[in-house]
Structure 1
């Protein structure tokens, strides 16, 4: 294994192999595109669950693995120096999946792990899915203590990109968020930060980056901005808890998922998602994208 400094035994610069999990998703695919544009395609391994959905990045290699398959993960992570661990989809066993992937990464000798976490990740987070992220961060720190692995946590806030899907066909944001504020962040900013960290991981070793937007918006203000930007009328309905459960009942989702959906809004109401961080500007050297920028890109 080459030294962690990135200098090989002969004194030259060692090639860093970069793995990207979730490479068929929004973040993973965009990170791959950004690194390929920097001439790093030949260093990339794009890790997907379905090979038919792997992005086409000339020069990159692909591997197939899911986080619930330890052997497949070890094979997919073998020979990698740095790994982007994009959090698994919402499920009641997501932490177990993450633990499997983390153990496989350490077994495979990965040196640096970049994990897409969430603002306020902790065991008692108001947003229930942020508790999964807190447990995953703990697991990564534990693994680092045993293996010498270094890490970077990207604690993303909710995406600006989801406001339109949240509003749905009737262009109405609904939930018990009150007048709480959230520093919604552009998915593009998250991808660019991730790409920058993967390209120079030691500059961000053992660092928590708070990936927020540049302003804190209420959902009422978000609806007004969507209206102004699109020319279509959007509105926000501040639901009670009973109304929030009733409006989500038709989906037939399990209780844990309904609780997660509703806690999206109660977390906004609580104010814990309102602080604006300068970390995106620190990493990228530019201001964060705004809602209008995201709508324009779409």
Structure 2
């Protein structure tokens, strides 16, 4: 089996999960930088240096691959052509199962980032390669990244209003991907809507952060444009700031909510609770 984006935040965790579940599994990985993947190679993972933007490198890496995890690119606005290169390489290699990390409720989501996922899902379906969609919800780490600033200023900023967010730890989604790749059951055609067992509002997030840190932290809701401007002012690239602000605004309408508990059913345990994720962030 082959994991793309193996040196990224999710990819590394997927490799760890695969090794935990089945150390004997034949695992290959794609990385753009061989040096960055040296630690994976040291653990016995077969590393291919390849790039989504260079189809010729993908063709060589995919030879003999049975199951493939396509971790979505983080190159916003350019992901579809990159993903198509991977899909084409998978088709030519005769891959028997392509698992794709999409986004929660991709077919109906109002998140701006969902469009590239919808287009990628359509390209996968059209390719004829057997597929399974892993529609990942929000990573709790996306909000935990704001904890240092929230503690410094006594305020957690956002545009999510009272929308409920059913996030889970990135590691939970990684285990789910590993379980699907190693499953003895036929996964072709399945669509998993993956989210945390419990949900919270950002006001509740701020209250839990205040409780654990012993510092006063309150949630301050901002209009989407104002929140984006704040993110740009602290150094975030324009595109990323727009994405985060848009996602928060969509979250205010419950775009990041799901109560199906498909994620915990797939991984065979409860998802990581918000309290644990905040504690981990505070511990550094």
Task: Tell me the TM-score normalised to structure 2 length.
Answer: 0.89
Unaligned runs of 5+ in 1: 1-17
Query: Which residue of structure 1 lines up, in the alignment, with residue 214 of structure 2?
Result: 231
Contact kept? 1:35, 1:195, Cα under 8 Å: yes
The reply on whether 1:112 has 2:100 as its aligned counterpart is: no
Q: Provide Cα deviations, 1:24-81, integer angstroms capped at 9, x if missing partner.
A: 1222112212222334455011111111111335222100111111111111111110
- Counterpart Cα distance in 2 of 1:285 and 1:70: 37
The reply on whether 1:157 has 2:140 as its aligned counterpart is: no
Instruction: Classify the secondary structure of the residue corresponding to 1:52.
Output: coil
Q: 2:48 aligns with which of 51, 63, 69?
A: 63
> Where do residues 37-116 of structure 1 align in structure 2 (5 Å cutoff)?
37-40=20-23, 43-54=26-37, 55-56=39-40, 57-116=42-101
Contact kept? 2:228, 2:244, Cα under 8 Å: no
Residues 201 and 238 of structure 1, relative CA distance in 2, 3 Å threshold: farther
The reply on whether 1:285 has 2:272 as its aligned counterpart is: no
Shift in Å at residue 168 of structure 1? 4.0
Residues 41 and 87 of structure 1, relative CA distance in 2, 3 Å threshold: farther
Residues 52 and 259 of structure 1, relative CA distance in 2, 3 Å threshold: same
- Counterpart Cα distance in 2 of 1:262 and 1:192: 28
Instruction: Classify the secondary structure of the residue corresponding to 1:62.
Output: strand
- Counterpart Cα distance in 1 of 2:139 and 2:236: 25
Contact kept? 2:144, 2:278, Cα under 8 Å: no
Residues 241 and 294 of structure 1, relative CA distance in 2, 3 Å threshold: closer
- Counterpart Cα distance in 2 of 1:64 and 1:184: 32
- Counterpart Cα distance in 2 of 1:204 and 1:234: 44
Query: Which residue of structure 2 lines up, in the alignment, with residue 23 of structure 1?
Result: 6
- Counterpart Cα distance in 2 of 1:191 and 1:249: 30
Shift in Å at residue 117 of structure 1? 0.8
- Counterpart Cα distance in 2 of 1:110 and 1:284: 24
Shift in Å at residue 277 of structure 1? 1.9
Task: Tell me the TM-score normalised to structure 1 length.
Answer: 0.85
- Counterpart Cα distance in 2 of 1:127 and 1:156: 13
The reply on whether 1:264 has 2:247 as its aligned counterpart is: yes
Paired residues in the alignment total: 275
- Counterpart Cα distance in 2 of 1:154 and 1:165: 24
- Counterpart Cα distance in 1 of 2:190 and 2:260: 14
Shift in Å at residue 252 of structure 1? 6.8
Q: Provide Cα deviations, 1:205-243, integer angstroms capped at 9, x if missing partner.
A: 211111100112111111112222333443321002342
- Counterpart Cα distance in 1 of 2:184 and 2:236: 42
Moved over 4 A (4+): none
Contact kept? 1:119, 1:273, Cα under 8 Å: yes
- Counterpart Cα distance in 1 of 2:92 and 2:267: 32
Q: 1:132 aligns with which of 99, 116, 133?
A: 116
Q: Kindly indicate whether structure 1 or structure 2 has the higher relative contact order, using CA contacts under 8 Å at least 6 residues apart.
A: 2
Contact kept? 2:18, 2:25, Cα under 8 Å: no
Q: Provide Cα deviations, 1:123-168, integer angstroms capped at 9, x if missing partner.
A: x732111111111111111112xxxx21111111111122221344
